[in-house]
Amino acid sequence: MRITFCCTGTAPEPWLQGLCAALPGADVQVWAPGAPQADFAVVWAPPQAFIDEQPGLKALFNIGAGVDALLKLRLPPGLPVVRLDDAGMSVQMAEYVCQAVIRHFRELDVAEADMARGEWQFRKPRQRADFPVGVMGLGVLGSRVAQALQTFEFPVNGWSRSPKAAEALPGVRTFAGVAQLGDFLHSSRVLVNLLPLTAETDGILNHAHLSRLQPGGYLINVARGAHLVEADLLALLDSGHLAGATLDVFRTEPLPAGHPFWHHPKLTLTPHTSARTLRDESIAQIARKIAALAAGQPLSAVAGVVDTGLGY
């Protein structure tokens, strides 16, 4: 069995060592133009030339949960694409989102600013019932985030493209489809975006949708920068309809010098770090899936297979 590794911006040696250890007998090599045909590929942002030179692949394994960059390539019809379905990312995402919600709800950012000015002030505690949190996207990561928020007794709403069974997310008020998006937004004061990036969701965080949040709304975007219409967010922040936002992802990364986000007083920025790929966990998950397919198990038995028509 031959496995080729083509991950832009990723040091290959630890991945090759881990895959060789997890799949004894496999021939694991870094791809270079003209390389022999492989059975499986482990990829992140591969060039089109890689896809064109490897027509015999049985499956592509993406070392992340988001596959939007991969699906922009011309892939052979029927080539299975398999994403990471957790690999330690969901707990990181839950940590990040919960701290962002709590920091805003408890006004810890305001307290930090006060202390930096040498001011010792108290503020009236706010009620959790006044801060319903809406989670857009109820996949593996979104579901974990929704469950974690309930630990802190926030009312939680969830929105997804298709309906979710009530027993799958106990305690979460769920909405589904375009018809219920407006009601979901109107019922939420804090909005957490965990949607996959598709043609339908590009620019979904726009003025029309964000203005439907309850007054004093707050945005947390941890999915993709292209979900957000940046000028619309700035306008809603400056009008006061939105109290602020925490942004971990941006349309251009790194965020360009001079971008208005850098010094906006209502924004908290982090450098696309809300949920990082954990190498050892990812290698173990990918190796299990490759071994299953190599042993003849059907694709339906493998978690994380992407519907390339839907984009996730």
Range of the domain at 15: 2-87+277-301
Stated length of the chain: 312
CA 280 to centroid of chain Cα atoms: 19
Strands (E), 46-198: 59-62, 81-82, 133-136, 156-160, 173-176, 190-193
The answer to whether residues 184 and 288 belong to one domain is: no
Catalytic residue among 74, 224, 227, 241: 224
On whether the CB atoms of residues 3 and 41 are closer than 8 A, the answer is yes
The residues, ordered by sequence, that sit 6+ positions from 113 with a Cβ below 8 Å of its Cβ are none
Domain total in the chain: 2
Catalytic residue among 2, 103, 241, 272: 272
Judged on CB neighbours under 10 Å (0-12, 13-18, 19+), 215 is exposed
Q: Put residue 238 in one of left, alpha, beta given phi > 0 → left and psi -120 to 50 → alpha.
A: alpha
pLDDT of residue 166: 82
The answer to whether residues 94 and 78 belong to one domain is: no
pLDDT of residue 87: 86
The residues, ordered by sequence, that sit 6+ positions from 93 with a Cβ below 8 Å of its Cβ are 141, 144, 145, 194, 222, 274, 275
On whether the CB atoms of residues 201 and 227 are closer than 8 A, the answer is yes
Average pLDDT along the chain, 312 residues, taken 10 residues at a time: 96 97 97 97 97 97 93 96 92 98 97 96 97 97 97 98 92 97 98 97 98 98 98 98 98 97 98 96 96 95 93 92
The answer to whether residues 248 and 111 belong to one domain is: yes
Give pTM, 2 decimals.
Answer: 0.93
CA distance 141 to 195: 10
For 137-187, how does the pLDDT look when each residue is reduced to its tens digit (9 = 90+)?
Answer: 999 999 999 999 999 999 999 999 999 988 899 999 999 999 999 999 999
The answer to whether residues 95 and 69 belong to one domain is: no
Whether residue 82 lies inside any domain: the answer is yes
Kind of pairing between the strands at 156-160 and 133-136: parallel
Positive or negative, the Cα torsion across 152, 138, 107, 110?
positive
pLDDT of residue 3: 98
Whether residue 19 lies inside any domain: the answer is yes
> What CATH number is associated with residue 112?
3.40.50.720
Active site residue 224: yes
pLDDT of residue 224: 97
Share of the chain above pLDDT 90, in %: 96
Active site residue 264: no
